Structure 1
């Protein structure tokens, strides 16, 4: 019971940090490009994990075979997830992104059925359908009321949700084999190397290397990137790995709904983002669908027992 309680506390903190991260990404986008943001973000995250390992005197013993096993997980999270997230947030509001991100439990259920052969109940299928309709409704309303950029942005956020769902499925097995610190270190290292390689390579080719460091002269950018690097990238990697080592992937994915609420409130209160009636309708459809999916899932487990 104590382990489960700690896992749920970790999942709640994870959801809170992720929920606010959308707002901080929007802040950084005012002074830097998406790829530069990711590079700076994971530079601070990597510095953070190195300091932690030095302070704890943790010696990471890992061979190439271990790295190859963890690499696919790192490609999903943080690389694919954060890449699609920042590209999406460059096109749509953080509130819209948060609503679409609530589809993570739906994708988790669908992918678990496809990859793990887990069967869904009739109630779960109805709930999934409701959430899917909610996403389609949001996409249609975005397309009808704004530019095609919003549809593209929504598509990127959907891809980030799919990446997270795949991560939720595959991470559970690895968290039982490797230490949380080892997983977090490898995932952060991959983000640091890949994003910095892409950003610096692009600037060197274009002769604009000085522009890579220019955002660091802005105090609000530095504050936001510290939050994104230390708390959102490094902190959430550790918290999610810990929670997934104790909880099923479907239970962990439910906490994305709490993150959605935090994201919407932060966007409206601090960024003065517009929140229309169709956002509310689509969001309610998605969240009711997610709650139904997990309710009927637990009910089915109880019947089997």
Structure 2
């Protein structure tokens, strides 16, 4: 069976959501053994090493120069540097539930940015569907209960900046995939993430006088397995998947799959952590899925009905 480029893009988007959804479990495991900054540094070290193997062996050729690097640099700053950096430090101040509500706004920011910078024009149905998907995420988190009494202003600002970074990446990557291949963009952004996070982590250890503990987590098999998942699948492969998807479908359509990853995280908690599945989980999940379907296929369904 042959798939069209758009079908492949949607498959890539769903795989992206699936991998990101399960990454939360592995992130929680690594954070019991090392700091958030070290997790990011080791994660992108593994990612960069794995990405460099086919390049060094000559299986993949990167036809880029210094000017190309300067053009891709802003994309790398949006994702992974600012997205993960703001996210990690934001979680110091607020809970993951509170962060989840804020990050559910990524499709809305992406829609606004894509309208301004890419001249994409989502239909009324797409806008309503996108808001329905976002509402599904917010509904689940509110029903689970969140703590708004703590001092969360700094955390809200940082997570909001993380969401804006993701939206900026969706729009800029959509634009740049017309000039560069998804593999090229993925390798360069991974390399810059590797450099930036390791520099930050080493400086942090140097200031604390704990450089000797930098690689200590790798003595734990659980950490090694988790960081391999995060580095190869959740960083490298997802970057490749999102860049490929954005080369074929609109940024606003791709961004709504972020909410699907939230749903997968919830299901992973039920299956692997023994968390209870409540009625509001199911209702919120239906809202998320209907929103994704409406955003990506609603206009096509209405069009086919009108002409049937």
Q: TM-score, normalised by structure 2?
A: 0.81
- Are the equivalent residues in 2 in contact too, given 1:12–1:255 (CA < 8 A)? yes
Offset from partner CA, 1:15-71 (integer Å, 9 cap, x none): 111111111111111111110000000000010111021234333232222111111
Contact residue 85 and residue 160 of structure 1 kept, 8 A: yes
The answer (yes or no) to whether the contact 2:91–2:155 under 8 Å persists in 1 is: yes
Structure having the larger proportion of residues in helix: 1
Which one of 67, 90, 95 corresponds to residue 92 of structure 1? 95
Aligned to 2:10: 8
- SS of 1:176's partner is coil
Aligned match of 1:37: 39
Q: 1:68 aligns with which of 53, 67, 70?
A: 70
SS in 1 for 2:231: helix
Mean CA deviation greater in 270-279 or 59-68: 270-279
Q: Where does 1:113-262 land on structure 2 (aligned, <5 Å)?
A: 113-116=115-118, 118=120, 145=147, 148=150, 156-262=158-264
Q: Could you tell me how far apart the structure 2 residues matched to 1:153 and 1:281 are?
A: 28
Q: Counterpart in 2 of 1:82?
A: 84
The question of whether the paired residues in 2 share the 8 Å contact of 1:169 and 1:249 is answered with yes
C-alpha change, 1:172 and 1:82, in structure 2 (3 Å) is same
Look up the match of 1:53.
55
Question: Offset of 1:87 from its aligned partner?
Answer: 3.8
Q: 1:267 aligns with which of 266, 269, 272?
A: 269
Describe the shift of the 1:290–1:8 C-alpha distance in structure 2 as closer, same or farther (beyond 3 A). Answer: closer
State the aligned residue count.
303
- CA-CA distance at 1:136 after TM superposition: 6.7
Structure 2 CA distance for aligned equivalents of residues 296 and 148 of structure 1: 41
CA–CA distance in structure 1, aligned partners of residues 218 and 134 of structure 2: 40
Matched with 1:27 is: 29
Alignment RMSD:
3.5
Quickly say closer, same or farther: Cα 1:265–1:89, change in 2 above 3 A.
farther
Q: Deviations over 1:205-255 (max 9, x none)?
A: 221012211211111111000000011111111111111111111222232
- Give the gaps of 5 or more residues in structure 1: none
TM-score (norm 1): 0.81
Q: Distance in 1 between matches of 2:194 and 2:75?
A: 15
Residue pair 1:42, 1:233 contacting (<8 A) in 2 also: yes
